[in-house]
Amino acid sequence: MAATKSPVVDIHTHVYPPSYIELLKSRDKIPYIRSFPPSSALRLVILPAEDTESTSRGRPVGAEYYDISKKVEFMDRHSIDISVISLANPWLDWVPAADAAEAARGINDEVNEECGKYPGRLFAFATLPLSGGKNVIEKEISRLKSLKHMRGIILGTTGLGKGLDDPDLLPIFRALQDAKLPIFLHPHYGLPSSVWGERANDYGHVLPLALGFPMETTIAITRMILAGVFEKVPELEMILAHSGGTLPFLAGRIESCIEHDAHLKAEGKLGKGRKTVWEILKKNIYLDAVVYSEVGLNAAIQASGKDRIMFGTDHPFFPPLEGENETWASVETNYEAIFGSLGSGTEESLAALGGNAVRVLNLVV
Amino acid sequence: MAATKSPVVDIHTHVYPPSYIELLKSRDKIPYIRSFPPSSALRLVILPAEDTESTSRGRPVGAEYYDISKKVEFMDRHSIDISVISLANPWLDWVPAADAAEAARGINDEVNEECGKYPGRLFAFATLPLSGGKNVIEKEISRLKSLKHMRGIILGTTGLGKGLDDPDLLPIFRALQDAKLPIFLHPHYGLPSSVWGERANDYGHVLPLALGFPMETTIAITRMILAGVFEKVPELEMILAHSGGTLPFLAGRIESCIEHDAHLKAEGKLGKGRKTVWEILKKNIYLDAVVYSEVGLNAAIQASGKDRIMFGTDHPFFPPLEGENETWASVETNYEAIFGSLGSGTEESLAALGGNAVRVLNLVV
């Protein structure tokens, strides 16, 4: 199915290009891909909490992880016209500094080439060589212009190692702003495992995935807001994974706490001229629609705007547990939330399903 | 103003009765009340993150903390007919086991007596002697029936030291269920400070208060859900502070992660008969309306129900920064959210402002 006038666009969908799979297979600590005898099946382990005997230890690595034709099959099965693919976490955070430039170039080139195999159907968010230092990062940002299918970059929450409120990131943010490359902010590290308590292993991966991920995103973007990043880099565009983590729900509380913080005011850290959280939500932030409920999606829409919501699937994660399912429940849940919140076939739902992404990310070949 | 047919009820409003102030003044570590020379003014420090020279070190302790007539003045100024007062965090979590029974009895009696000074206007949530062990706790729960103004208990997230998914808490939860005493779940400890990053002190108290508190509540209630507490104690009633932390927004993601967790299913931890998060939200959970925005309040209402939302202020915290304000901005923001979400003078807004609390907590003398 070619892109139509009202295409469905999936902006939250991950790939493990073959060279990244090889990189992960070559490792003996997290993140890694390996088999756990007696089984010979390969499994991907990306979080420490997943790497204990008492859990199912990561997840099976099937062809949908690395074979781009499986991505397109998945798209066809779920009526998705265009996907903006991104390398899955933890990206290249752990690559030695000396190897960072080459790793990022190789993977970005490979992802760009894979997009080229399905003209008009695949675009991508690039991966930055964060461990390589400022010059290496800026050079790769500059090089991305030459990659036809790149429409932004995916970024975790650690930045250069100190989080996204690190002043040393400001030149990087400015370079992305100037290159008109939005940041797709995505969690990976979650929260320190002590918060899950002694029984965490009884609950499978639920706590780190369901709570740790969105809380990590919320903390990262709030630290950026408090550091004044959006005053200093006023045109920076961020697309927040999982509908902003919990930012739409907490925006009011964050605003109230900022207003009531005598220390913040006395120091003039965020002076009279600061942008409010609400202003940032409507000016600098876009939200994906990967929130699995009308309740969450309504909050995301009300916080950011109907013109700032973008459909996503989180493929290849959350696959059907029963092998016979024709479509994935995780995808259907997010479709249903959009239809429930915005109606079926309405201008608003078409915008959320794809129109917003096409406009913001310029998804034309 | 006496309670009217549609009273306004504040269910989230804290007190520091004089004996609790004395207890805190007698301490030399957090939580404590002391002066910081050269100033002789007393300040309350309740969080480690507040106790560094680089922050404003806690908050001033004014008469509104301990003088119950100031509470009533505040209520009159903000058109609040009834308050359900509760001891402020960290309650009695830190009291030595041998002293727990007496401390809880003394404080619960004192709070009950203060309510008696303003008949029909003040009710209370009691404090449990958690460090005293099961028998001491159950004895105090049983004794609460004799205290005329008690309508539930306030509880932090640590329980007996291992969190609220601790199986040893089940008898306590059953005793509260059988005594028809709802639990007002309130955060205190936030998240480990490492998540706030190196620049946290630059942001005053915003990160731990705006994010740490609601995230702590969300984690605590989700751990209870995953432990099957609401299947094992099916009539347990919980009122969640700050509109559930972030539970309304994340409920869909939590449900999706539970459904997709092969480990959880294989182990049968939460079998086919489990209650969904949505069912628990509509059966066992009430939410206060202390969320400072229409966006958050709408999500709370949609998740839990118009008949399960209860107005609150968080008094005496978030006072006006300018001494001349007649009313507190933090209170007005929460009023405005209710009017914005449910209309002014509508049946739904009157229910949220007080009707729900009167019904659920039986607020008649």
**Does residue A356 belong to any structural domain of this protein?**
yes
> Taking Cα atoms as reference points, which of B149, B92, B83, B117 lies closest to residue B357?
B83
Which pLDDT does position A39 carry in this prediction? 86
How far is residue B255 from each of residues A102, B250, B277, measured CA to CA in Å? 40, 9, 6
Closest residue, chain B, to A334 (C-alpha) = B252
**Does residue B271 belong to any structural domain of this protein?**
yes
> Which chain B residues have a beta carbon less than 8 Å from that of A263?
55-56, 204-205
Which pLDDT does position B324 carry in this prediction? 59
Interatomic CA distance for residues B201 and B207, integer angstroms = 9
Asked if A318 and B256 come within 8 Å (Cβ–Cβ), the reply is yes
Tokens of A296: 């969450």
Specify burial of residue A136 (Cβ count, 10 A radius: 0-12, 13-18, 19+). buried
> Which chain A residues have a beta carbon less than 8 Å from that of B243?
249
A interface mutation test: which of B250, B267, B302, B314 has the most A CBs within 10 A?
B250
Which pLDDT does position B55 carry in this prediction? 55
Which pLDDT does position B1 carry in this prediction? 39
**Does residue B19 belong to any structural domain of this protein?**
no
> Taking Cα atoms as reference points, which of B117, B40, B51, B119 lies closest to residue B81?
B119
Specify burial of residue A120 (Cβ count, 10 A radius: 0-12, 13-18, 19+). middle
**Does residue A34 belong to any structural domain of this protein?**
no
How far is residue B312 from each of residues A120, A157, B86, B332, measured CA to CA in Å? 52, 34, 12, 11
Kindly provide the ipTM of the predicted complex, given to two decimals: 0.96
Asked if A296 and B269 come within 8 Å (Cβ–Cβ), the reply is no
Q: How far is B83 from chain A (nearest CA, A)?
A: 22
List per-residue pLDDT tens for chain B, 365 residues long. 344 479 999 999 999 999 899 999 999 988 999 998 888 889 999 877 777 765 568 888 889 999 999 999 999 999 999 999 999 998 999 999 999 999 999 999 999 999 999 999 999 999 999 999 999 999 999 999 999 999 999 999 999 999 999 999 999 999 999 999 999 999 999 999 999 999 998 998 899 999 999 999 999 999 999 999 999 999 999 999 999 999 999 999 999 999 998 778 776 667 678 999 999 999 999 999 999 999 999 999 999 999 999 999 999 998 887 665 789 999 999 999 999 999 999 999 999 999 999 999 999 97
Total number of domains constituting chain A? 1
> Which residue from A222, A249, A259 is facing B248, i.e. has the nearest CB?
A249
**Does residue B61 belong to any structural domain of this protein?**
no
> Which chain A residues have a beta carbon less than 8 Å from that of B219?
195-196, 207, 211
Q: Which domain holds residue A354?
A: 95-311+324-361
B interface mutation test: which of A249, A270, A315, A332 has the most B CBs within 10 A?
A249
Stated pTM of the model: 0.96
**In the sheet where A59-60 sits, what is the strand order?**
A32-35, A42-45, A59-60
Asked if A248 and B295 come within 8 Å (Cβ–Cβ), the reply is yes
Task: Give the SS3 label for residue A336.
Answer: helix
**Does residue B41 belong to any structural domain of this protein?**
no
> Which residue from B219, B259, B298 is facing A329, i.e. has the nearest CB?
B259
Which pLDDT does position A267 carry in this prediction? 60
Which pLDDT does position A2 carry in this prediction? 40
Q: What is the DSSP letter of A275?
A: P
A288 pairs with which residues across the strands? Answer: A310
Closest residue, chain A, to B199 (C-alpha) = A165
**Does residue B42 belong to any structural domain of this protein?**
no
pLDDT, one tens digit per residue, over B19-43 is 899 999 999 988 999 998 888 889 9
Asked if B249 and A292 come within 8 Å (Cβ–Cβ), the reply is no
Tell me how long chain B is.
365
Asked if B267 and A162 come within 8 Å (Cβ–Cβ), the reply is no
Asked if A251 and B337 come within 8 Å (Cβ–Cβ), the reply is no
**Does residue B32 belong to any structural domain of this protein?**
no
Asked if A223 and B196 come within 8 Å (Cβ–Cβ), the reply is yes
> Taking Cα atoms as reference points, which of A42, A38, A10 lies closest to residue A24?
A42
> Which residue from B215, B249, B253 is facing A248, i.e. has the nearest CB?
B249
> Which residue from A162, A249, A257 is facing B206, i.e. has the nearest CB?
A257
The separation between CA A79 and the C-alpha centre of its own chain, rounded to angstroms, equals 21
List per-residue pLDDT tens for chain A, 365 residues long. 344 479 999 999 999 999 899 999 999 988 999 998 888 889 999 877 777 765 568 888 889 999 999 999 999 999 999 999 999 988 999 999 999 999 999 999 999 999 999 999 999 999 999 999 999 999 999 999 999 999 999 999 999 999 999 999 999 999 999 999 999 999 999 999 999 999 998 998 899 999 999 999 999 999 999 999 999 999 999 999 999 999 999 999 999 999 998 778 776 667 678 999 999 999 999 999 999 999 999 999 999 999 999 999 999 998 887 665 789 999 999 999 999 999 999 999 999 999 999 999 999 87
How far is residue B13 from each of residues B9, B85, B87, B242, B275, measured CA to CA in Å? 10, 5, 9, 12, 31
> Which residue from A163, A209, A294 is facing B257, i.e. has the nearest CB?
A209
Task: Count contacts between A and B (CB, < 8 Å).
Answer: 249
Residue A301: which CATH number?
Answer: 3.20.20.140
> Which residue from B218, B269, B321 is facing A211, i.e. has the nearest CB?
B218
